[in-house]
Amino acid sequence: MGLFGNTQAPLVGVDISSTAIKLLQLSQSGGRYRVEHYAVEPLPSNAVVEKSIVEVEAVGDAIKRAVSRSGTRAKHAAAAVAGSAVITKLITMPANLDEDALEDQIQYDAAQYIPYPIDEVSMDVEAFAMENAFRLIADQLSVPKDGLVALVDVGATVTTLNVLRDQRSIYTREQTFGGKQLTDEVMRRYGLNYEEAGLAKRQGGLPESYEVEVLEPFKEAMVQQISRLLQFFYAGSEFNRVDQIVLAGGCASIAGMAGMIEEQLGVPTLIANPLANMSLGPRVQANALAQDAPALMIACGLALRSFD
């Protein structure tokens, strides 16, 4: 299969985050996508640390459980490496090259920068996967032509800002902050272990004091972190504002989060749902998928590689 060849076999997008395996498989018919299989499988504490897999067997077992729960029978998967582990280089080429010539040129240029045999390099990059999925939410946005959209992914341990213009990334930055800080505080305050705290966050059952004493301070900290990321962008660019914020990642599902960001930062904010216009396969539970959708941006971008 060439560099631009269509992937014939079904492809599963697998996002390995610090706290969970996120798996998504899509199909396409009549120009519309369909969610065929998906699963979110929690990982043990510290199995993945700072985007690096520490406990290979634990991660492998979680992937097996996710595959089993999702019901997929696909044998091929697309995964991604973190932006912090990537060097990105733009290569300018003539616009009149046909696909064969373009592929030859990319293979040649890539060989100059990648210290591995090119046929052994096939992983995606998280930022590119996010950009790939972003086009699915473009029609949900209310930005002017050439407007700037700040896609903020708040994961378990890392928050990533990706600023896009015309659906293309022009700036990316990561900083250490995420939902694990909320989990750690729940563990400390209520004497729960890691698994219990994660479950309590998702399903409730915590004391009434949780909302005011734990959740609200975390939400305030999250707004501050997003504001800080935007300030870094403004300081290093010609821009002094963005037109819209799109909130993704597991923390995007926290009730009232988008409203708080919009109120405090003065920028229209919406929750990312790249699956909003997709039909669902018989094994997919709509309610669960709606809850998980903001955290599935990377998995979705990877799953879309089936149709490249």
pLDDT digits (tens, 9 = 90+) for 54-91: 999 999 999 999 999 999 999 999 998 776 555 566 66
Same domain? For 128 and 149 the reply is: no
Count: domains in the chain: 2
Same domain? For 66 and 130 the reply is: yes
Average pLDDT over residues 4-24: 82
| pLDDT the model gives residue 83 | 60
Q: Report the range of poorest mean pLDDT among 64-68, 116-120, 250-254.
A: 116-120
Same domain? For 260 and 172 the reply is: yes
- The dihedral region occupied by 50, where left means phi > 0, alpha psi between -120 and 50, and beta the remainder, is left
Q: What share of the chain is helix, strand, coil (3-state, %, to 5)?
A: 45, 25, 35
Beta strands per DSSP E along the chain: 11-16, 20-29, 32-42, 48-49, 52-53, 76-78, 80-81, 124-125, 148-154, 158-165, 168-176, 244-248, 269-271, 279-280
228 Cβ contact list (under 8 Å, min separation 6): 175
The structure tokens listed for 298 are 């990377």
234 Cβ contact list (under 8 Å, min separation 6): 240, 241
Domain encompassing residue 193: 139-272
Q: Kindly tell me if the per-residue pLDDT of 138 is higher than 50.
A: yes
Which CATH number goes with the domain that contains 104? 3.30.420.40
Beta strands per DSSP E along 166-277: 168-176, 244-248, 269-271
Cα 109 to Cα 1, 93, 95, 216, distances in angstroms: 19, 10, 16, 49
The structure tokens listed for 214 are 């734990």
Percent of the chain with pLDDT over 70: 92
Burial of 177 (0-12, 13-18, 19+ CB in 10 A): buried
Q: Kindly tell me if the per-residue pLDDT of 230 is higher than 70.
A: yes
Same domain? For 131 and 30 the reply is: yes
Same domain? For 44 and 161 the reply is: no
| pLDDT the model gives residue 1 | 43
Q: Kindly tell me if the per-residue pLDDT of 259 is higher than 60.
A: yes
The structure tokens listed for 1 are 């299969």
Same domain? For 146 and 130 the reply is: no
Same domain? For 127 and 34 the reply is: yes
pLDDT band at 98 (very low <50, low <70, confident <90, very high): confident
Cα 282 to Cα 26, 70, 101, 275, 291, distances in angstroms: 13, 11, 43, 15, 18
Strand-pairing partners, residue 76, are 11
Same domain? For 261 and 280 the reply is: no
Same domain? For 41 and 89 the reply is: yes
Q: Kindly tell me if the per-residue pLDDT of 213 is higher than 90.
A: yes
Same domain? For 58 and 26 the reply is: yes
Average pLDDT over residues 135-157: 91
Same domain? For 235 and 192 the reply is: yes
Q: What is the mean pLDDT of the chain?
A: 88
User: Other CB atoms closer than 10 Å to residue 140's CB: what's the count?
Assistant: 15
Q: Kindly tell me if the per-residue pLDDT of 4 is higher than 50.
A: no
Reduce the DSSP state of residue 197 to 3 states and report it.
helix
Question: With the CA atoms of 226, 218, 154 and 35 taken in that order, what torsion angle do they form, in degrees rounded to the nearest 10?
Answer: -130
The structure tokens listed for 244 are 């819209």
Cα 191 to Cα 46, 183, 197, 200, distances in angstroms: 19, 11, 9, 12
Q: Kindly tell me if the per-residue pLDDT of 113 is higher than 80.
A: no
Q: Kindly tell me if the per-residue pLDDT of 287 is higher than 50.
A: yes
Q: Which residue has the higher pLDDT, 289 or 100?
A: 289
| pLDDT the model gives residue 74 | 93
pTM over 0.75: yes
pLDDT band at 211 (very low <50, low <70, confident <90, very high): very high
| pLDDT the model gives residue 2 | 47
pLDDT band at 127 (very low <50, low <70, confident <90, very high): confident
Same domain? For 146 and 265 the reply is: yes
